[in-house]
Amino acid sequence: MSQKPWDGRFSEKTDKGVEAFTSSIDVDKRLYAYDVEGSIAHCRMLARAGIISEAESAELVKGLRAILKEIEQGVFQFDDSLEDIHMHIEARLAQNLGRVAQKLHTARSRNDQVALDVRMYLRDETTVVTRLLLQLSKEIVTLAKSHLDMVMPGYTHLQRAQPVLLSHHLMAYYEMFFRDIERFQDCLKRINVMPLGSAALAGTTYPIDREYTAKLLNFPMVSVNSMDTVSDRDFILEFLACASICMVHFSRISEELVLWSSSEFGFVEIPDAFSTGSSIMPQKKNPDVPELVRGKTGRVFGNLMAMLTVMKGLPLAYNRDMQEDKAPLFDAVDTLKACIRIYIEMLPRLRFKKEAMFRATRTGYLNATDLADYLVGQGMSFRQAHGLVGKAVAYALSTGKELHDLSLAELKNFSSLIKKDIYQILATERMVDRRTSAGGTATVTVKKAIIRAEKHLSRVKDAI
Ligand code: ARG
């Protein structure tokens, strides 16, 4: 059995079952590079502050680098009895360097060490996620730009409501994902705080220089309160909340693609390479990618709930419960990145069906509001026009026609204000292009939104 760094006061060996139960190495080994980097910075700081000698620091740094190599080459031995990645690396250092290795942990505890590792990991991953979202947003804008000639029904209550540009609908998702980018960027500020030097919970008696460690590890600031620092997992909760909101957006666009690719809608064709068939029904082509993304949303929400529950009611400061933070965090990071990546691949390959979308705008009385607005333009109050058009819709329904199929004589029965020019007003393209209010669906307005989006994206690109 390996010697444990903390077993001085113990007279009995740890139960094997307990070792397996408390071990987190299978999960936290992915932090190894951050653990080594953090330890190297800690050594350098210790030497600079005169707590260990320069020679000792140099030896430790060399030893740590050798361990990094061993792990990267896959020759490093992992063992449940050593609990976590921090103890594995320290124990190996002791094997390789002997007594000097024992100096590494001066003025440090695993409590501030693990906080450091997770923060370093998460700031890197947050940057990766933000960059991926930026790429995704660009794909959406490109798609919107190249489909400005397509109109479709816009829906409320999943009932056809008013015609919109497909590009306008797509740009709605751009807005959501852009807010996600901003949210992750903001979250990064609270991740990017250096915890080392808080030690177990109360700080340390050694004359450490936390600012120097922060500088070496590229942190813009050090944490303030040692007790808060070792027990704070807000930055994880916040990341998971951002990830959950982002997954809501993915789930919504996925639901739309599932609907739109059905024969009931028939608005889009998902490429074969992104679909699967059925083992029994030869005709089937299923939208698996959007379905799975929609399904994976549950995992990410679950991870947020798990972490909120772990943290709720914990007394200050560190508690072992917090070791349970890594599995949900890693799973959320992996899931979110996988979803963004697959969408980046899939979006440009969607084939939208212009004719079917247009046809769908011509049935279901999507131009009723425009008829009412027309009457308002002739001096009628909107409420009166609304009632009158309601009657016209009821009449058209009873004859199995659309408003634009009614003859001028039939329309005039509802109001003498209606003239021949009404047919242009009731045309789909016209309905779309008259909605020039800021943020509306008119082609000119959507083009402006696209230009604005391109500007925002290039600004964000420079910032990450
Ligand atoms: N593996 C532990 C975790 O992830 C590291 C900190 C352990 N600290 C302790 N006092 N046992 O939280």
**Per-residue pLDDT averaged across 66-70, rounded?**
98
Above 80 in pLDDT, residue 118? yes
| Biggest CA pair distance of the chain | 101
Tokens read off for 90: 């320290």
Q: What pLDDT does 283 receive?
A: 79
Taking the C-alpha atoms of residue 191 and residue 125, their distance in angstroms, rounded to an integer, is 11
Whether the CB of 111 sits within 6 Å of ligand 1: yes
Provide the token pair at 28: 């936290």
The rounded Å distance from CA 197 to ligand 1 centre is 16
Q: Does the pLDDT value for residue 303 go beyond 70?
A: yes
H/E stretch holding 222 reads strand 221-222
The Cβ of residue 156 has, within 10 Å, a number of other Cβ atoms equal to: 8
Residue 171 has pLDDT above 70, yes or no: yes
Phi/psi of residue 155, nearest 5 degrees: -120, 150
* Token code pair at residue 112: 């501030």
Q: Which of 42, 63, 49, 56 is nearest to 108 (CA)?
A: 42
Q: Average pLDDT in the 138-167 region?
A: 98
Distance CA(437)–CA(155), nearest Å, equals 19
Residue 312: the pLDDT is: 98
When pLDDT is cut at 50, 70 and 90, the band that residue 309 belongs to is very high
For the four alpha carbons of 390, 394, 396 and 402, in that order, the dihedral sign comes to positive
The CA radius of gyration of the chain, in Å to the nearest whole number, is 31
Q: Which residues are known catalytic residues?
A: 157, 278
The pLDDT score that the predictor gives to residue 1 is: 42
**In this structure, what token pair is assigned to residue 213?**
């460690």
**Ligand 1, atom 11, residue with closest C-alpha:** 320
Say if residues 112 and 439 touch (Cβ distance below 8 Å): no
Q: How far does residue 93's CA lie from ligand 1's centre (Å)?
A: 19
Q: Which residue type occupies 290?
A: P
In this predicted structure, the answer to whether residue 3 has a pLDDT above a threshold of 70 is: no
Bridge-based pairing state of the strands 193-194 and 221-222: parallel
Q: Above 60 in pLDDT, residue 381?
A: yes
The one-character DSSP state at 219 is -
* DSSP letter (8 states) at residue 206: S
* pLDDT tens-digit series, residues 245-283: 999 999 999 999 999 999 999 999 999 999 887 777 777
At residue 117, φ and ψ (nearest 5 deg) are -60, -45
Burial bucket for residue 434 (CB in 10 Å: 0-12, 13-18, 19+): middle
What are the CA-CA distances from residue 172 to residues 70, 339, 344, 439 (Å)? 48, 19, 17, 10
User: How much is the average pLDDT of 409-438?
Assistant: 96
**Is residue 56 pLDDT above 60, yes or no?**
yes
Q: What number of other Cβ atoms are within 10 A of residue 388's Cβ?
A: 18
Q: What percent of the chain has pLDDT over 90?
A: 92
Mutate to test the pocket of ligand 1, among 88, 323, 324, 329 (most ligand atoms within 8 A of CB): 323
- The string of pLDDT tens digits covering residues 219-252 is 999 999 999 999 999 999 999 999 999 999 999 9
Report the distance separating Cα 28 and Cα 345, nearest Å: 30
**CA gap 127, 140 in Å, rounded:** 20
pLDDT tens readout for residues 77-99: 999 899 999 999 999 999 999 99
Confidence of residue 326 (pLDDT cuts 50, 70, 90): very high
